[in-house]
Amino acid sequence: MKIFSLNKSDLSKKIIQNFQSEEIDNQLKIDKFSDGEFCPFFKKSIRGEDIFIIADGHTSDDIIKLLLVIDASKRSGAKKINVIYPYVPYSRSDKMDSLRTTIGAKLLSDVLQVAGISNLICIDLHSESISGFYNIPVIHLSSGRIFIDYLKSLNIDNICFTAPDAGASKRNQRLAKAFYNSTNATINKTRNIPNEVAKMELIGTVKDKNVIIYDDMSDTFGTISKASKLIIENGALSVRAVITHGVLSEGSLENIANSCLTELIISDTVSMTYDKLKKYNTIQTKKPKITVISCSDILIKSIYSLITNNSISEINSI
């Protein structure tokens, strides 16, 4: 068994160090030509090995780099090629939302399988149905287990889990089961264009509640910012957002800083998060606290389960 990482993120380092694997520079080298093309190659033989590739980037370059490393692994005689993809890109494109558009999640699944992957380990796909796009085993982990201990340590009373849209309702209801006497609410929203909410309405009561918004990902945090304002206007005592994949795209830091959030809690699935949080600390305004919880533990346990052929039910339960 060998583990390789395509980006030197803190998450990758935690996983590699746990298995006492060699550093990435001693195993895998990825050259980049002046025209932007990548050329990966392995410095040591991987023939007959079960290998794990940690893919923690979501840009187009990151995807191409991953596909080339998978191809190099296959051509180098790897026995199994397991991809650890905590934040799978294009998950929002899981169906045709309009005429003459694409299903990006299906296309990505196709190219990963054609490239030669054997298993996929991921966290909180935007839609659980995406796992059905793959004809290989998909270990789809829930982030609920990552956040529960931290949320309980806050000792918050009168909790109301509020879904930012209808699609997140089931996710919030599952997490609510871990908190005695918690309640649920949902925000109904409509969009005219991507990343811009046209209308929001609250379904349920949040008055005198400490609200927790739980969702799989947030890009610009525009929805979360507007949702937190709506919730406070409806009498909530506080609002926290728990987001698995904090993408933090352009404009997101300002939206977070100017929101009604008490705290934003995210995981470390997106490799660029830490650099962007340094920028967040330079914004001169009253800002909500941002807490980062590592998902390395459940990923490490899922790797052990895969190599020992054990069940992941206990790891994935809330």
Question: Which is the catalytic residue, given 189, 229, 276, 287?
Answer: 189
Those residues whose C-beta lies under 8 Å from the C-beta of residue 277, and which sit 6 or more positions away, are: 248, 290, 292
Angle subtended at Cα 62 by Cα 29 and Cα 272, rounded to the nearest 5 degrees: 100
Residue 29 DSSP SS3: strand
Report which residue type is found at 140: H
| Coil, helix or strand at residue 225 | helix
Q: CA of 33: how far to CAs of 36, 73, 307, in Å?
A: 5, 20, 36
Torsion from C-alpha of 249, 251, 253, 256, nearest 10 degrees: -110
Are 82 and 51 in contact, with CB atoms under 8 Å apart?
yes
Beta strand 119-123 with 28-32 is: unpaired
**Is 189 one of the annotated active-site residues of the chain?**
yes
Task: Provide the 3-class DSSP secondary structure of residue 73.
Answer: helix
Which positions ≥6 away from 200 have C-beta within 8 Å? 187, 188, 189, 226, 227, 230
d(CA 209, CA 255): 23
- One-letter amino acid of 224: I
Neighbours of 282 (CB within 10 A): 7
Active-site amino acid positions: 189
